Amino acid sequence: MTKPVAIQNRGITARLLDQPYLMLILAPLFWGGNGVAAKLVIGEIDPFLLLATRCLGAFAVILPFAWPHLRQDWPVVRRYWPLLMAYGAIGYALFNVFLYVGLKTTTVVNSSIEQAALPMMILGANFIVFRVRARALQVAGVLIAISGVILTATHGDPARLLTLDINIGDAYVIVACLTYTIYTLALKYRPDVHLMSFLGVAFAGAAVTGLITLQLFGGGLGQFANLAHASPMVWGVLAYVMIFPSMFSQVFYARGVELLGANRAAPSHNLIPVFGTLLSVLIIGEHLELYHYLSAAIIIGGIVLAEWSARRP
């Protein structure tokens, strides 16, 4: 992993950035809200327009904070800007566009729980690509958690896997998880720049990718004109996704990976279904089935086992 960013200012923000477990709770909380926010405006705004607007807005929000660090890190940024922009294209833009498209035909509860597949994908990819071995109990914890994901994706009937009878929206969410797995592993090669420099360039890459996907698949850049007639709900959702899951979650997760490593940070993604489910029930009024309760219990058990194993001497 890259070295943790040296923090000189010991204010509230600096102390927060030294608390990896708190950050790895807040990040999935805001990500869980991301799916709920997108679901609230299904039918009011196209997923590709939502993504492009989110990425452009997030870049505009982050740039003032990143600018002083970009000036300091400019020699490194100038050398590695294609890589830095690729992080945003893959981890921010592609992940979210697959998620938003998937939410057109699946529930927030399902999409949230399915994102718990991330630890399994990250652990497996770490072993295949980098030969990073995990403890047996870590693997067991992840396998337990992924069994909860399977229960959710098949709507309580795992036998449906035999006939590949899975909702297309659920399939899109799983593809989104694959893109974020690539992003997480690629953080190993993140250039040694300040976190805000990293996010500034990464969101530039996400913004460019959002514009390209809107032009190719979302009806063209002229769709931005529709925002002039958007409802207050749409603007509220745009403000939320630009700031909380875009800026705060990315800062907190990237910092958590720096401090704990990808394998130990990955299980925090299993909190997304917990927060996403609670928020979807409270805000949207989605209904929970018995398999949702079983999945949540299984996934939480897997998190506890994996983290307990990682902390053992």
- Least Cα distance to 111 among 31, 185, 16 occurs for 31
- Report how far residue 266's alpha carbon sits from residue 214's, in angstroms, rounded to the nearest whole number: 30
pLDDT reported for residue 265: 80
Q: By the 8 A CB rule, do 161 and 154 touch?
A: yes
pLDDT reported for residue 4: 42
- What DSSP character marks residue 165? -
pLDDT reported for residue 7: 43
- Report how far residue 244's alpha carbon sits from residue 225's, in angstroms, rounded to the nearest whole number: 25
Below-70 pLDDT ranges, the chain: 1-14, 117, 120, 134, 153, 155, 159-165, 310-313
pLDDT reported for residue 56: 96
Burial 109-148 (b: 16+ CB within 10 A, else e): bbbbbbbbbbbbbbbebbeeeeebebeeebbebbebbbbb
Strands (DSSP E) along the chain, which ranges?
Answer: none
pLDDT reported for residue 162: 60
**Rg of the chain, C-alpha, whole Å:** 19
Long-range contacts of the stretch 60-68 (C-beta < 8 A, 24+): 61/242, 61/243, 61/246, 61/247, 62/196, 62/199, 62/200, 62/203, 62/246, 62/247, 63/200, 65/196, 65/200, 66/196, 66/197, 66/199, 66/200, 67/200
